[in-house]
Chain A
Amino acid sequence: MRVAIMSDIHGNREGFSAALDDISDRRIDQIVLLGDYVGYGPDPEWCVDTTMRLVEAGALAVKGNHDHAIADPSESMNTIARATINWTRPRLSKAQCDFLAALPLTLELGEVALVHASLNSPERWHYILDDRRAVTSFRQTTARLIVCGHTHLPTLISQDTAGTVRQHQALTAAPVPLLRSRRWLAVVGSVGQPRDGSIAAAYAIFDTATSEFEFRRIAYDVGTTVHKLRAAGLPEPLAIRLQKGK
Chain B
Amino acid sequence: MVLRPHSGLVIDGFTLGERLHKGGFATIWDVEHPDHTGPLVMKVPTITDGFDGPTIVGFEVEQMIVPKLVGRHIAKFVAAGDFAVMPYLVFERIQGEPLSEVFKGVPIALPDAVALAEKMAEAVHDLHRQNVIHLDLKPENFMLRADKSLVAIDFGLARHARLPDLLAEEFEMPMGTYPYIAPEQVLHQRNDLRSDIFAIGAMLYELVTGKAPFGKPSRLAEVRWRLWKKPIPPQSLVSDCPAYVQEIILRALETDPKDRYQSAAQMLFDLRNPAQVKITTRDGKNKRDPILKRFKRWWRGQTFVPFETPPLMTVQIEMAPIIMAAVDLSPEMEALADRLLLSVKRMLIIQPDARIACVNVIKTKRIGLDTARDAEGNHIHVARLLALRDWASGLGLPEDRMTCAILESSDPAAALIDYARHNHVDHILIGARGSSSTRRFLGSVSSQVVAEAPCSVSVIRLPQSGRFAEASEASAAVMHPDA
Contact = CB atoms under 8 A, between A and B. Distances in A.
A161 B166 CA distance: 13
A36 to B, nearest CB: 27
A126 to B, nearest CB: 23
Nearest to A161: B56
Interface in B44-67: 53, 56-57, 60, 63-64, 67
B53 A162 contact: yes
Interface string B84-95: 100100000000
A176 interface: yes
Contacts of A169: 164-165
A173 B161 CA distance: 11
A237 to B, nearest CB: 32
Contacts of A166: 166, 169-170
B82 interface: yes
Nearest to A172: B162
Given A180-B84, A181-B60, A156 B164 contact: yes
A171 B165 CA distance: 11
B60 A168 contact: no
A174 B53 CA distance: 26
Nearest to A131: B169
Contacts of A179: 60, 63-64, 83
A167 interface: yes
Contacts of B87: 181
A173 B162 contact: yes
Given A161-B83, A168-B164, A182-B60, A177 B169 contact: no
A174 B164 contact: no
A40 to B, nearest CB: 30
Contacts of B84: 180-181
B163 interface: yes
A160 interface: yes
Interface residues of A, number: 18
Contact of A181 (B53, B67, B83, B165): B83
A171 B191 CA distance: 15
Contacts of A161: 56, 83
Contact of A160 (B56, B64, B82, B165): B56
B163 A171 contact: yes
A177 B162 contact: no
B82 A180 contact: yes
Given A167-B169, A168-B169, A174 B162 contact: yes
Contacts of B64: 176-177, 179
Interface in A166-213: 166-169, 171, 173-174, 176-177, 179-182
Given A166-B170, A168-B169, A177 B67 contact: yes
Contacts of B169: 166-168
A179 B170 CA distance: 16
Contacts of A171: 162-164
Nearest to B84: A180
Nearest to A167: B169
Contact of B63 (A162, A167, A168, A177): A177
Contacts of B83: 161, 179-181
A35 to B, nearest CB: 26
A167 B170 CA distance: 10
A156 B169 CA distance: 12
A181 B56 contact: yes
A181 B67 CA distance: 16
A167 B164 CA distance: 9
A178 B63 CA distance: 10
Contacts of A181: 56, 60, 63, 82-84, 87
Contacts of A162: 53, 56
Nearest to A182: B60
Nearest to A168: B164
B56 A176 contact: no
Interface string B62-79: 011001000000000000
Nearest to B59: A181
Contacts of B165: 168-169
Given A177-B64, A179-B63, A182-B60, A168 B166 contact: yes
Of A166, A167, A179, most buried by chain B (CB within 10 Å of CB) is: A179
Interface string B306-347: 000000000000000000000000000000000000000000
Contacts of B166: 166, 168
Contacts of B170: 160, 164, 166
B53 A176 contact: no
Interface in B67-125: 67, 82-84, 87
15 contacts: A160-B57, A160-B170, A162-B56, A164-B170, A166-B170, A168-B164, A169-B165, A171-B164, A174-B162, A174-B163, A177-B163, A179-B64, A181-B56, A181-B82, A181-B87
Which 6 A-B pairs have CB atoms at the shortest separation, nearest pair first?
Answer: A168-B164, A181-B83, A174-B162, A166-B169, A177-B64, A180-B82
Interface of A: 156, 160-162, 164, 166-169, 171, 173-174, 176-177, 179-182
Given A168-B165, A181-B87, 14 more contacts: A160-B56, A160-B57, A162-B56, A164-B170, A166-B169, A168-B164, A168-B169, A176-B64, A177-B63, A177-B163, A179-B60, A179-B64, A180-B84, A181-B56
